[in-house]
Amino acid sequence: MFNKVLIANRGEIAVRILRACRELGMQTVAVFSDADRQALHVRYADEAYLLGPAPSRDSYLRGDRIIEIALKSGAGGIHPGYGFLAERADFAQACVDASLAFIGPKPSAIAAMGDKAIARSTVTRAGVPVVPGTEGEGSLSDSELLALAPGIGFPLLVKATAGGGGKGMREVRSIEEMPSLLQAARREAEASFGDGNVYLEKLLEGARHIEIQILADNHGNVIHLGERECSLQRRHQKLLEESPSPFIGDDDELRQRMGAVAVRAAQAVGYVNAGTIEFLVDKDKNFFFLEMNTRLQVEHPVTEMVTGVDIVKEQIRIARGRQMRYSQADLHMNGWAIECRINAEDPYNNFMPSTGRITHILVATGPGVRVDTGVYPGFEISPYYDSLISKLIVWGETRAEAIMRMRRTLEEYKIVGVHTNIPFHQTLMDSHRFMGGQYDTRFVEERFSMEAAEEGKVDRSPIAAILATLAAHRQTKLAAQFISRGERDTSNWKWLSRWERLHR
Ligand code: MV4
């Protein structure tokens, strides 16, 4: 059994995992790239080793080097976090071959769920409902797909079997446009995954994207931790998640049915450790399996806030062969949690990534607030990795309290030096459809605009003056005190009355 963990990741998730290790009394090993010499995860760990140059393929994707470092440092377990090597069956196998515990599922479960066509047929055999589409595990030619399409019906989606997250996906509205869209999907899948294989699914329009967190140990126990609502996305990047889902709300019967189905899907591949089953839920509350993510997810904190379970600690215990500390009967969802992903990007300029040095941060704190971050003042945001700089998570007794708290927290949070999408989240918090929980997967792209925020926009010149002062005093710690609260209408009274009107 291991007492030392290597964290094969960076940024906020590496810090999150380091904290769990520390609380469990375990020793930690960090790895880092040239671009991350000054990173927080390096400072937090007991030991840290350089992997190589900044590009991921030369650093965080170097499974061979990471295993070598684990063996050299005496780490007995490797936590992959999310992204990078987290869902690579070959890496999980290489860990096992080196007698290292991969803190995640078995390689066979990663592989079975990694091929979306195999995942569909495997869970179907276990009685899990899937969206109508092509069946079986083999690859189908264009002519076979064209012959099957009318039976499925239009509109439909062409999806990459190696895909997930929307890459290599094409919407097809008629048989005429299908041949060229099949080619486009195959080309994109080939370029992204080195595998051009595709399958078909009927397109479900206006559906919600809701996922169920599960945990499974090596003793045959599998439990679910309720759902997360993930419909607020832009170009397949999630921006905000909440738990419970406002669509499921107090329909505990639906929650338990979806949870039981998620448990069955996990059992179908002999799943162990933390995982997530994604569902599409239509307006009549019919739900369909989409795919399983065989990793810890970015948005796991909202589930932690409402269930009280520390998912990362539980992952480590499970990997050490222990029994889970919870049974299904122990788990209850308490209150409401919302997570805003704070990205270094400009919401006023088509969400363009923003790089540069963070000069000042005023962190939001206070009751019911959690901030998971990998940055600090002085840290340089490089273009090499994703733009997530922190996650702002709030808890409230009710959804209304959580939204009020998120508004307050977004007001408090100041990051100077790079653009962030904080104004996007503030606009979202003011949106009537968000307040009412009435949104689906197309909301951000089709019905939401930053213009609404621009409308009542005030003269920003005082802020410019303050920032100029800040720049002049950047050497002094005092300068941070000058960051103003901004001229936004910060009164909650107007907002409260809106809320009440909406719920009359
Ligand atoms: C779908 C779908 C509708 N019908 N499948 C997107 C990423 C991947 N996890 C699966 N995804 C979807 N699959 C069927 N049969 C809707 C989505 C979807 C989506 C689609 C377009 C734009 C944004 C979206 C956000 C979430 C899910």
Nearest atom, ligand 1, residue 163 CA? 8
405 part of the active site: no
Nearest CA to ligand 1 atom 11: 166
pLDDT at 479: 42
Q: Whose CA is nearest to atom 5 of ligand 1?
A: 203
Q: What is the length of the chain?
A: 504
Of 208, 255, 295, 341, the active-site residue reads 295
Instruction: Decide: 166 in ligand 1 pocket, CB within 6 A.
Output: yes
Q: Beta strand 27-33 with 4-7: parallel, antiparallel or unpaired?
A: parallel
Residue pLDDT, tens place only, 146-189:
999 999 999 999 999 998 878 899 999 999 999 999 999 999 99
User: Higher-confidence residue: 500 or 21?
Assistant: 21
Phi, psi of 375 (to 5 degrees): -120, 165
Q: How far is CA 170 from the centre of its chain?
A: 22
Mean pLDDT of 53-58: 98
- The string of DSSP codes covering 359-392 is -EEE---STTEEEEES--TTPEEPTTS-SEEEEE
SS3 label, residue 336: strand
Distance in Å, CA 3 to ligand 1 centroid: 40
Q: Determine if ligand 1 sits within 6 Å of the CB of residue 134.
A: no
Q: What is the pLDDT of residues 200-233, one digit of tens each?
A: 999 999 999 999 999 999 999 999 999 999 999 9
The three-state DSSP-derived secondary structure of 37-55 is CCCHHHHHCCEEEEEECCC
Residue among 130, 209, 289 to mutate when testing ligand 1 (max atoms within 8 A of CB): 209
Q: Which candidate, 471, 366, 462, 357, places its Cα nearest to that of 413?
A: 366
pLDDT single digits (tens) 89-115: 999 999 999 999 999 999 999 999 999
Question: Nearest residue CA, atom 15 of ligand 1?
Answer: 203
For residue 484, which phi and psi values (nearest 5 degrees)? -85, 165
Average pLDDT over the chain reads 93
What is the distance between the alpha carbons of residues 99 and 54, in angstroms, rounded to a whole number?
28
Residue 437's alpha-carbon distances to 111, 186, 209, in angstroms, are: 36, 36, 13
- Which one, of 406, 397, 400, lies nearest residue 435 by Cα? 400
C-alpha to C-alpha distance for 164 and 116, rounded to whole angstroms: 8
Query: Around Cβ 232, how many Cβ atoms within 10 Å?
Result: 22
Which residues lie closer than 8 Å to 29 by C-beta, 6 or more apart?
4, 5, 6, 7, 45, 46, 47, 48, 49, 69, 70, 73, 75
| DSSP state letters, 175-223 | STTHHHHHHHHHHHHHHHHS---EEEEE--TT-EEEEEEEEE-TTS-EE
What are the CA-CA distances from residue 206 to residues 134, 281, 434 (Å)?
22, 9, 15
Q: Tokens 């002094």 identify what position?
A: 476
Amino acid at 411: E
What average pLDDT score do residues 1-11 get?
Answer: 98
158 burial type by CB count under 10 A (0-12 exposed, 13-18 middle, 19+ buried): buried
**pLDDT tens digits, residue range 32-50?**
999 999 999 999 999 999 9
233 lines ligand 1 (CB under 6 A): yes
57 and 85 in contact (C-beta within 8 Å)?
Answer: no
Q: Is residue 480 predicted with pLDDT exceeding 50?
A: no
Q: Which residue puts its alpha carbon closest to atom 24 of ligand 1?
A: 441
What dihedral angle (degrees, nearest 10) is formed by the CA atoms of 428, 434, 440, 446? -40
Q: What average pLDDT does range 458-485 have in this prediction?
A: 58
Locate the ligand 1 atom nearest the alpha carbon of residue 204 and give its number: 4
Mutate to test the pocket of ligand 1, among 441, 443, 446, 448 (most ligand atoms within 8 A of CB): 441
Residues contacting 124, CB < 8 A, separation 6+: 130, 135
The pairing of strands 27-33 and 47-52 is: parallel
Q: What pLDDT score does 464 carry? A: 61
Look at residues 376, 363, 232 and name the one whose alpha carbon lies nearest to residue 299.
232
C-alpha of residue 412 to centroid of ligand 1, in Å: 34
Peptide bond before residue 129 is cis, with ω within 30 degrees of 0? no
| pTM of the predicted model as reported, rounded to 2 decimal places | 0.91
Ligand 1, atom 19: closest residue by C-alpha: 441
